[in-house]
Structure 1
Amino acid sequence: MSALDTPSSSSDALGISSLGQLKQELIKDYNEVNHRLFGIGVVRQKVDIQGDRVLVIALHKRVPALGYLSRLNSNVSELADHYLIKGFKQEFKLLLEEKYGFEVLSIFKDYDAEAELSATVVVMKKDVRDYL
C-alpha cells in the first residue's frame, strides 16, 4: 500500500494542520450548535486543547424564556437546562465525530445560569494532535 492509498483524516480533508486552526474551527462549530439549539450564539468563548482533552469556556446570553421560567419556577428551568445541555452534548459529539473523525469518549458540560458561563470538556480516545 502506497502513501497515496492511505485514507486521510477528516481534519486533512478540511485543511486543518495546526492546533490553532482547529481551535478556530471548534469555536465556529460550538457557536453554530448553540445557535441551532438555542437561537442565540455565545458572547465569548475560549478553546484550550491539552492532550486528549478539549476545554471550552463560554460566556452565554441566557435565552430570555429560560430566565422568565427561572423566576416563575426554578425547578422547571433547571430541568430545561439539564435537557438542553444533554441535547447540546449529543449534537456536539455527533459533529466532532462526523466532521473531524474524532473518537469522543465523553463530553462533560456544566452551565452556571447566574454567571451565564459554561464549561465543556471533550475527552477523546487519543491525543487531539493525532487526528491532525
Structure 2
Amino acid sequence: MSTLGTNSLGTNSLGQFKQELIKDYNEVNHRIFGIGVVRQKIDVQGDRILVIALHKRVPSLAYLSELNSNVSELADHYLIKGFKNEFKQLLVEKYGFEVLSIFKDYDTETELSATVVITKKDVRDYL
C-alpha cells in the first residue's frame, strides 16, 4: 500500500516524490558505502524510475583497486547487490511499490552510477 498521496509523507505530486526519493537513495547509499552521493537526478517514465548519480569512490575501494582490481570488482559487486536489496525493501515498505526488478551499474572511472527500477504498474499509479 502506498504511503504517498494523502499519507504520512504529505506528498501527492511526482516532483515531491522525486525529492523524497533523492533523500532516501542518498541515505541508503550512505548506509552501504559510508559516503553520500555528490549529485543525482531522478526521472520517471511509465513503470520505470531512473536514478543517475555522481558518487565519490570509497577511498578504501580505490586503494584496493590499485592493489588488486579483481578483489575490488568483487567487493563492488556485493556492495551494489546489498544496495539493490535495501533500496528495493525501502521502495516496497515506504512507497508500496511492486518492484519487478532493479538494475544498477557503477563506472569507477567517472564515478557515475545508473539505477533502473522496474515496477509492476505505472509509477504514477502508486502516488
TM-score band by shorter chain is over 0.9
1:52-63 matched pairs, under 5 angstroms: 52-63=47-58
Unmatched runs of 5 consecutive residues or more in structure 2 = none
Q: Which of the two has higher C-alpha Rg?
A: 1
Which secondary structure does the structure 1 equivalent of 2:38 belong to? strand
Q: Which structure shows the higher helix fraction?
A: 1
Pairing 1:49–2:58 present: no
In structure 1, the partner of 2:31 is 36
Deviation at 1:65, TM superposition (A): 0.2
Partner Cα distance (1:9, 1:47) in 2: 19
Identical aligned residues as a percent: 82
Partner Cα distance (2:54, 2:29) in 1: 12
In structure 1, the partner of 2:96 is 101
Deviation at 1:16, TM superposition (A): 1.7
Partner Cα distance (1:122, 1:63) in 2: 24
Partner Cα distance (1:108, 1:11) in 2: 24
Aligned length: 125
1:44-83 matched pairs, under 5 angstroms: 44-83=39-78
String of CA shifts for 1:22-44, please: whole Å, max 9, x gaps. Answer: 10011000000011111100000
TM-score calculated relative to the size of structure 1:
0.93
TM-score calculated relative to the size of structure 2:
0.96
Unmatched runs of 5 consecutive residues or more in structure 1 = 1-7
1:9-20 matched pairs, under 5 angstroms: 9-12=2-5, 13=7, 14-20=9-15
Q: Aligned-residue CA RMSD in angstroms? A: 0.9
